[in-house]
Amino acid sequence: MTKIKNICCIGAGYVGGPTMAVIAQKCPHIKVTVVDVNAERIAAWNDSELANLPIYEPGLREVVAEARGRNLFFSTDVSAAIRDAEMIFMSVNTPTKTYGNGKGKAADLKYIELCARQIAKEATSDKIVVEKSTLPVRTAQAIKTILSNNQTSAKFQVLSNPEFLAEGTAIEDLYSPDRVLIGGEQTPEGAEAMEALTEIYANWVPRERILQTNVWSSELSKLVANAFLAQRISSINSISALCEKTEANVDEIAKAIGMDSRIGPKFLKASVGFGGSCFQKDILNLVYIARTYGLDEVADYWEQVIDLNDYQKRRFAQNIISKLNNTLSGKKIAMLGWAFKKDTNDTRESAAIYVADHLLNEQAEIHVYDPKVSESQIHKDLDYLQTRSPEENREMVQKVVDIEQALAGAHAVAILTEWDEFKTYDWAKLSALMMKPAFVFDGRNILDHEALRALGVNVYGIGR
């Protein structure tokens, strides 16, 4: 069986960086090199003080500190890392296409193809190539075709090893995964390659949690897992709208149905909507694949999960507008949280972006406080929507240094990320800081609404 001594990971982002850091920590006998063409990102991973890692993730700094320089390395020399490695992880971005066939739904595989072509060009010995990025089903065949056209005698096995990480708990998820999924060709060579990757994870993951499947099942499993999780969120959010009309309490309903062992309590927390890099992108990809095979009813079903999520964000923003007498011009709105969830600096598809966009259309003045997201990222997110000019976004939206500065003189506060410090904040200070009457819009249902109402605050949650 192939014994892996050198691993290369192409892509030093949210998946590649933490995953390789944990593999290096748990497998000190294997050299792990993470490469990226983005020199600034690599420099941040190599920061001597570990203070400016490009990703914020609880526990990541300690893992990198232990392994970096021992058997974990970060480099821009992609070619050398490819040549030296027996196993190569492809962990590059696969955004939704913004052009051509499948625009707005299909995954854009240009970075995957470029990655495969570079591996084919540089490889001088046999390689196991591992898909770590989230990819459409049957992408492995396209990768295999590209690799087979290399100009040397090198042979390749392509595996699918999708990640199932939740940002904010990625290190914990890597330490103790529910399962590790490895898909490969159903041939002796494919079985040997799958076993080589299994041996790496078996250094810390019980073998009964490592599942080997055919490569197509592995590729599709990641899309389906994210679709099912997002579906649960959209389902409970649809009920939250009904609760607000009937005076039922969505939290009580979620608890009641979550105690049914057939349903379970996870992902039944009503909120302003889901975000992040995976859920929407993967569902749209699933929709595109279904339509490609003529399964329009299947595509329509999953597309509704996205439609409901968009509706929830619009509904939340419209509630703010209507409760403030349908006029936000000249009014200061404090937004607490910009990251799509707590314990991460990732803002991709964050509900905060779209809520802010709706409020800015009403000429609100928005002051944002988030402990991990920079002002430049906030403006970048809004500029991407192209609703207003960059100059207008910078004039109307600013980041502040703490909660007090956000609340001072605000007509309303909207909580968009469930950071722990928002839960523990002394909300009795509200009356001294905010305009009267004070309005709180709790988009994550994390506050004690009765206590706030006792302070004379108008508070509105989701489905409560």
Residues acting as catalytic residues:
278
Tell me the HSE value of 458 on the side-chain side, using a 13 A CA sphere: 13
φ, ψ of residue 458 to 5 degrees: the values are -80, 110
Number of neighbouring beta carbons within 10 Å of residue 189: 15
Tokens for 8?
């290369």
Distance of alpha carbon 102 from alpha carbon 116, whole angstroms? 22
Cβ atoms of 16 and 9 within 8 Å: the answer is yes
Q: Radius of gyration of the chain from Cα atoms? A: 24
Residue with tokens 């030296």: 84
Q: In which element (H, E) is residue 318 found?
A: helix 296-323
Helix or strand or coil: residue 410? coil
DSSP for 28-74? TTSEEEEE-S-HHHHHHHT-TTS---SS--TTHHHHHHHHBTTTEEE
Number of neighbouring beta carbons within 10 Å of residue 421: 12
Helix or strand or coil: residue 131? strand
